[in-house]
Amino acid sequence: MDSKQSLTKRIVIVFALMTAFVAGVFAIGIVVTVHVVEGKLTNASLGGGLQRLLLMDNTDDWTHRPEKDELFFFEGGLGEMTPDEPLKALHPGFQEIVYDGEDYYAMVKVVDGRQYILLKDQKSHEQRERVLYTVVIVGFVLSILLAILLGWLLARRVMAPVIRLARQVRHRDQLLELAPPLAPEYAVDEVGELAVSFDQTLGRLREALGREKLFTSDVSHELRTPLMVLASSCELLLSNRALDQRSMAQVSRIARASDEMRQLVDTFLMLARDRDNDSGNGASASLKEVADALAEIWGRLIREKGLAFIYLDEQASNTYYNLTFLQSVMGNLLRNAWHYTDHGFIRLTLRDHGFSVEDSGIGIPEEKRHAMFQPFVRGDEHRGEGLGLGLSLVQRICTNQNWRVELTTREPHGCHFAVDLTERQEQLLL
């Protein structure tokens, strides 16, 4: 499984682990070496000390004394120099023993059948070991801390061009055709190769966006004329009183579909444009004006289906919004509620800087709720109409205008869509 930590953290961790391994090996080597050398030096020191004592005096009463941290015993000695049974059991040579509850180094020699024993207290040696261990541990910890600091500084230096490249790629101006290439600003190394790859990818994206905008403009231009002809023809037919009621209903349906198609064409055309360059274009209207117009159209259709249509105005603001986008968002939500509700009601509620559409329809399964704003996702696959693009279009428009749309389920069934038309400041800052 790939680590999800940042590359900077990985570099710091690698530095710390490498330093910990090397410093640990050195610390263990130092401790072992010092311990071995100390043992050999002590062995030589005790052996030499015992030999000097034997050369100084060879009488039974023994007038010479060892060092203050040493004890001397010999077989046949008098008083405190007489070895007890544990000491008599020692074998010749250098060894470590516990005598009277204290740790000693012992050197034992047998000369002319007589046993000589020289003991040296280990307290001084243990003090040196504690100092050594303290120095080694402090050095080990300081080495790791230094490695973390150096790793962090090195990671910042190494990652600086990568972070800079990421910011340049993330900047929206990189999708403009006049945006300069990124590769010339970087050295011919791995980051430079990454910049070249980004230039190639961004170039393909610019070409794709250009083709999409050109296609959308061409389609919109070509569809406007037949849609105008279709709308004009419907108006002429509706003004003809010779048509029967059924024919009038069919013509009205065609007129409504052509108007929706025209609105959809305008919506896609505006979405294909640059939002900054298009901010001053297009008609605008207040939330109540758009809601009143759509409530008249969809209220009639909802009632014809046998549903109750509830239209509430709870202090709607007088702020003006893009007419085309607001009509598309509210119209798609009303159409979605009308399509998936067979019994009960549909409620349109206006609020301050937003609105909501609520229904008592079939609802949306929990496993699909988080995917409903994706293209070609439908709440009920068995219903014949629709491709699952309405909510996706709503999400695209809200993203384009920095609006926010939220979906929640009703109990026992139904949906509640809430749209907040207040632009999110965190997105505007980007």
pLDDT per residue as tens digits for the range 346-390: 999 998 889 999 999 888 777 676 667 775 565 555 554 544 567
> Pairing state of beta strands 102-111 and 93-99?
antiparallel
For residue 382, what is the domain's CATH number?
Answer: 3.30.565.10
- pLDDT(191) > 60: yes
Q: Domain boundary at 163, 189, 217, which?
A: 217
Rounded percentage of the chain residues whose pLDDT exceeds 90: 14
Q: How many domains does one find in the chain?
A: 3
Residue 161 lies inside a defined structural domain of this protein: no
Q: Domain boundary at 187, 217, 247, which?
A: 217
Are 47 and 133 contained in the same domain?
Answer: yes
Are 296 and 413 contained in the same domain?
Answer: yes
pLDDT of residue 61: 54
- pLDDT(280) > 80: no
pLDDT band at 84 (very low <50, low <70, confident <90, very high): confident
Are 388 and 302 contained in the same domain?
Answer: yes
Are 40 and 102 contained in the same domain?
Answer: yes
Are 126 and 183 contained in the same domain?
Answer: no
Residue 149 lies inside a defined structural domain of this protein: no
Are 37 and 87 contained in the same domain?
Answer: yes
370 Cβ contact list (under 8 Å, min separation 6): none
Most trustworthy range by pLDDT among 258-267, 377-386, 404-413: 404-413
Return the closest-CA partner of residue 286 out of 259, 314, 326.
326
Are 16 and 127 contained in the same domain?
Answer: yes
> Pairing state of beta strands 114-121 and 102-111?
antiparallel
Q: How far apart are CA 220 and CA 268, in angstroms?
A: 8
Please give the backbone phi and psi of residue 116, each rounded to the nearest 5 degrees, phi first: -120, 135
Range of the domain at 183: 174-217
Q: Lowest mean pLDDT of 36-40, 77-81, 125-129, 191-195, name the range.
A: 77-81
pLDDT of residue 38: 85
Q: How far apart are CA 268 and CA 389, in angstroms?
A: 12
What's 385's DSSP letter?
Answer: S
Are 308 and 360 contained in the same domain?
Answer: yes
Residue 273 lies inside a defined structural domain of this protein: no
Query: Is the full-model pTM beyond 0.85?
Result: no
Q: Lowest mean pLDDT of 62-66, 68-72, 249-253, name the range.
A: 62-66
